[in-house]
Amino acid sequence: MTDTENVRLLEVSLENPVEAAFAERAYIAQHPCTCGGSWERVGGGVIDLHTAYSNCRCRRCGAEKVLKFLFGTNGDASAIEELRTKAENGDAEAQYQLYMRYSKGEGLQQDFGQATKWCGKAAAAGHRIAQFTLGVLYAEGKGVTQDDAEAFKWFRMAAEQGEPRAQHNLARRLLDGVGTARNPEEAAKWFRRAADQGVAPSQAQLAVLYAKGIGVPQSDTDALAWLRKAAEQGQGMPDDADLLKWCQKLADKGLAAAQYYLGAAYDYGQGVRQDSTEAARWYRKAAERGDALAQLNLGTQYIAGKGVPRDPAQAANWFAKAAAQGNAMAQTNLGTLLKSGNGVPKDATKAVHWFQQAADHGHAKAQLNLGVCYANGDGVGADKVRALMWFRLAARGGNERAAAYTNQLESMMPPADVEAANRLVDGWTCKSHR
């Protein structure tokens, strides 16, 4: 589990920067790249789509054309006029982009009235992201009179077109009876649809429903399974007193997954007073039963001296157990200890092995570290082309240091080597999306 906020069983809002980024880049999200689609949804959010498109070299997806259409030069009057003409002729995507420009003041004077007008037109034309956005505007009373019934209507329309955030918001309203009659059974169906698309808050909420038997048959197995899916995305345990009691009961029976979640509750103070010692106790019980997330978190506590004495050797031991089960964060952490010789004999070659394992699964920090190893010839033969490849992939995954390293290394390389690295990136991306 990463250090994230607790699950907020509220509606996804455009105030959430990750969700706002997704909405802003809707056109790109709806027109995936033919070289592998490196800007797919991740949970309820996205990889940095703008960076992904900027780095795309396949030239088969019209990346530059799309970027110019979407972002252009903010002060380019002709581009704005072309966009407006398309919008007035009924182009739903252009209408939605006008909404974005008016709402943010990009190339146009900020005007929430005009923004809402164009969002409404795009939504009425069937643009699912616009429908979701309009639902949020009505739910929050932004640019329109707050209206829960209207919000529900637009969330449903977007949800029926497969928009996962709208599915989550629709389910939340059906569960609470906001803007519509309360219907837990229908809510569970929509939470499931969003959860199946990787929306972590929906996965966490499904766990609550299965644990309590609300809208679905009570099932400890299903509840734990959905909690696990949410946790693998860094989603915290729902802050729910009844769920905590349920988890305590299963943990006392020796279920490793429940012991892990109880440890997480104490670790992050979710529903209980924060207690690192108690967290370590429950993590250890789960870790000894083979729970990879518990092994990772227990190792992290040994590194930080949190709830246990600081002991890098013990940390490496638990990271190794989790790494052997394929946990990418544990693989990265183990590689870091091996590279520095912290708690284990220094071994750059083994460090590269574990960085490679995690990097192949898309872990951005491991990709960065692997790039550094290739750049310096540390534990592997020096290879600037592969170093640039891994830096670029890490940057796509949101690692800011990798973006800086990419620019620095690229400026020092001949164009032919840069193109070779870009081809490796395209090949890796295609392979990883098969």
Answer whether CATH 1.25.40.10 is correct for domain 9-71+126-234: yes
Rounded average pLDDT over 219-223: 93
pLDDT at 433: 63
Rounded average pLDDT over 121-144: 94
Q: Find the helix or strand (DSSP H, E) in which 328 lies.
A: helix 328-340
- Confidence tier at 155 by pLDDT (50, 70, 90): very high
Tell whether the model's pLDDT for residue 21 goes beyond 60: no
pLDDT at 35: 39
Tell whether the model's pLDDT for residue 8 goes beyond 80: no
pLDDT at 361: 93
Tell whether the model's pLDDT for residue 26 goes beyond 50: no
CA 137 to chain centre: 23
Q: Find the helix or strand (DSSP H, E) in which 46 lies.
A: strand 45-46
Rounded average pLDDT over 205-226: 93
- Range(s) for CATH 1.25.40.10 in the chain? 9-71+126-234, 239-310
pLDDT tens digits for 57-101? 443 344 444 444 444 434 466 788 888 999 999 999 999 999 998
pLDDT tens digits for 325-371? 999 999 999 999 999 999 999 999 999 999 999 999 999 999 999 99
Tell whether the model's pLDDT for residue 39 goes beyond 90: no
pLDDT at 160: 97
Residue 180 CB neighbour total at 10 angstroms: 18
pLDDT at 376: 94
pLDDT at 17: 32
Tell whether the model's pLDDT for residue 321 goes beyond 70: yes
Rounded average pLDDT over 201-227: 93
Identify whether the C-beta of residue 339 lies closer than 8 Å to the C-beta of residue 379. Answer: yes
Share of the chain above pLDDT 70, in %: 82
Q: Which two tokens stand for residue 123?
A: 């939504």
- Confidence tier at 227 by pLDDT (50, 70, 90): confident
pLDDT at 306: 95
CA distance 48 to 41: 10
pLDDT at 133: 95
**Residue 239 or residue 191, greater confidence:** 191
With 0-12 / 13-18 / 19 or more C-beta atoms within 10 angstroms meaning exposed / middle / buried, residue 234 is: middle
Tell whether the model's pLDDT for residue 230 goes beyond 90: no
With 0-12 / 13-18 / 19 or more C-beta atoms within 10 angstroms meaning exposed / middle / buried, residue 176 is: middle
- Confidence tier at 235 by pLDDT (50, 70, 90): confident
Identify whether the C-beta of residue 332 lies closer than 8 Å to the C-beta of residue 321. Answer: no
| CATH, domain range 239-310 | 1.25.40.10
Tell whether the model's pLDDT for residue 277 goes beyond 70: yes
Q: How far is CA 190 from CA 154, 160, 193, 338, in A?
A: 15, 10, 5, 45
pLDDT at 136: 95
Identify whether the C-beta of residue 188 lies closer than 8 Å to the C-beta of residue 165. Answer: no
- Confidence tier at 11 by pLDDT (50, 70, 90): very low
Strands (E), 183-312: none
90-99, 165-174, 395-404: which has the highest mean pLDDT?
Answer: 165-174
> Where is average pLDDT lowest: 27-36, 121-130, 157-166, 202-211?
27-36
> Where is average pLDDT lowest: 36-40, 194-198, 310-314?
36-40
